[in-house]
């Protein structure tokens, strides 16, 4: 297909074919809107009455469409659709050792309940991340698994941002107007990494989350022959204006044996990590608090069964 430049009465549409051109257009039109699946932008324009004078379609740039498996993990281009990613994850889970693909397994499970086929066939990995919705279903998984977002602007090298530091506020990310998200690096898991994803919505199909979560622990055997927590990451969505980590809980889990006392301590500290204002948008404050505790309970049980 050719590169496109379609001027119109309300908006101009650019469709570059190379990364170099994409970055040039991004630099030239800081007010320009990068578009891939249009599943967020379309809603903003139709229901939020937003207008954008310039669109830059990132759909045909090879670097943003690649999926590469390296020695450390999977790197997924930002314009890859969720359906393509699901197929790739399924294949990796089938082909590679189980302990390496626990994040992929969790992502695949979460995506079963991400919108529906029509949306997944067009919505992109990068569009979901850059929207920075506090109820994105995948952001908690990236944040709890050490995933890294690679961003780039014209004339600058690739800048790596840890997923857990990328979301700055409500729909606000650590990216400059001249930068684009290139890809996401999702590391393989290690031998005793346990990862789980959670989502609570009104319906199972085609519904956005009320709350969601991504949780990971790396367990190790202590000198006393007990499993203890070597690393813990807990990311929560739907409980704040952005997806958040639960720092008190993560610190509290460190070094602990996986037993009932640990479960109770974590549920108590989650109540401190999560403060939902009674006036917060979306309401259901008690329910969302309860969901956080319930997600952790399910995670605790999952890890206990895996260790058994
Ligand atoms: P677009 O609308 O094309 O773009 C979204 C934003 O990202 C724009 O601001 C755009 O400028 C920016 N952007 C895109 N790519 C880049 C890039 N490479 N660099 C910089 N900026 C970029 N989300 C969920 O998490 N879970 C759900 O269950 C869910 N269900 C949905 C159901 C429906 C019916 C709809 C309409 C949406 C749903 N969504 C859901 C939200 C949405 O589908 C996702 O966030 C989707 O992944 C967005 O991708 P897109 O390619 O359509 O983004």
Q: What is the pLDDT of residue 86?
A: 98
Q: What is the DSSP letter of 237?
A: E
> Quick one: fold of 62-187?
3.30.465
Q: How far apart are CA 32 and CA 130, in angstroms?
A: 14
What are the residue ranges in the chain where pLDDT is below 70?
none
Question: What residue ranges line ligand 1, CB within 6 angstroms?
Answer: 33-41, 43, 58, 78, 114-115, 119, 123-124, 126-128, 130-131, 136-137, 180-181, 208
Instruction: For tokens 């108590």, name the residue.
Output: 268
Q: How far apart are CA 238 and CA 199, in angstroms?
A: 10
Q: What is the pLDDT of residue 282?
A: 80
Closest C-alpha residue for ligand 1 atom 17: 181
C-alpha of residue 123 to centroid of ligand 1, in Å: 6
C-alpha of residue 91 to centroid of ligand 1, in Å: 24
Tokens of 40: 């967020």
Q: What is the pLDDT of residue 277?
A: 83
Q: What is the pLDDT of residue 204?
A: 84
Instruction: For tokens 């790739």, name the residue.
Output: 88
**pLDDT tens figures, 5-59:** 999 999 999 999 999 999 999 999 989 999 999 999 999 999 999 999 999 999 9
Q: Name the residue among 221, 244, 176, 163 with its Cα closest to residue 26.
A: 176
Closest C-alpha residue for ligand 1 atom 29: 115
Q: What is the pLDDT of residue 193?
A: 98
Q: How far apart are CA 185 and CA 199, in angstroms?
A: 23
Q: What is the pLDDT of residue 109?
A: 96
Q: Could you state, in order of their start, the residue ranges of all structural domains in the chain?
A: 4-57, 62-187, 193-307
Q: Selecting from 3.30.1490.100, 3.40.50.280, 3.30.43.10, 1.10.357.10, what CATH number does the domain 4-57 have?
A: 3.30.43.10
How far is residue 108 from each of residues 34, 72, 87, 114, 177, measured CA to CA in Å?
26, 19, 9, 10, 31
pTM of the predicted model over 0.95: yes
Closest C-alpha residue for ligand 1 atom 18: 181
C-alpha of residue 130 to centroid of ligand 1, in Å: 8
Closest C-alpha residue for ligand 1 atom 14: 127
Given CATH 3.30.390.50, say whether it is the number of domain 193-307.
yes
For residue 136, give the ligand 1 atom closest to its CA. Answer: 25
Q: What is the pLDDT of residue 280?
A: 83
Closest C-alpha residue for ligand 1 atom 32: 115
Closest C-alpha residue for ligand 1 atom 13: 127
């Amino acid at each position: 297909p050719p590169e496109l430049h379609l001027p119109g009465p309300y908006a101009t549409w650019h469709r570059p074919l190379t990364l170099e051109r994409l970055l040039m257009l991004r630099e030239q039109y800081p007010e320009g809107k990068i578009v891939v699946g249009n599943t967020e932008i379309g809603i903003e324009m139709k229901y939020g009455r937003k207008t954008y004078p310039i669109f830059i379609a990132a759909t045909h740039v090879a670097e943003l469409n690649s999926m590469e498996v390296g020695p450390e993990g999977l790197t997924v281009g930002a314009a890859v659709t969720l359906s393509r990613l699901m197929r790739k994850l399924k294949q990796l889970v089938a082909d590679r050792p189980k302990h390496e693909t626990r994040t992929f397994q969790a992502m695949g499970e979460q995506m079963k309940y991400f919108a529906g086929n029509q949306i997944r066939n067009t919505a992109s990995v990068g569009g979901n991340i850059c929207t920075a919705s506090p109820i994105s279903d995948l952001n908690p998984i990236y944040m709890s698994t050490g995933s890294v977002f690679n961003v780039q602007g014209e004339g600058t090298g690739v800048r790596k941002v840890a997923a857990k530091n990328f979301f700055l506020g409500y729909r606000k990310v650590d990216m400059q107007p001249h930068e684009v998200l290139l890809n996401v690096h999702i590391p393989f898991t290690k031998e005793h990494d346990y990862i789980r994803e959670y989502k609570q919505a009104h319906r199972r199909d085609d519904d956005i989350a009320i709350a969601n979560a991504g949780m990971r622990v790396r367990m190790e055997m202590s000198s006393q022959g007990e499993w203890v927590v070597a690393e813990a990451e807990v990311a929560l969505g739907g409980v704040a204006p952005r997806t958040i980590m639960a720092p008190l809980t993560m610190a509290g889990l460190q070094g602990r044996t996986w037993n009932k006392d640990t479960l109770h301590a974590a549920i108590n500290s989650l109540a401190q990590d999560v403060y939902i204002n009674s006036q917060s948008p979306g309401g259901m404050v008690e329910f969302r608090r309860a969901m956080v505790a319930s997600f952790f309970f399910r995670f605790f049980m999952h890890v206990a069964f895996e260790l058994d």
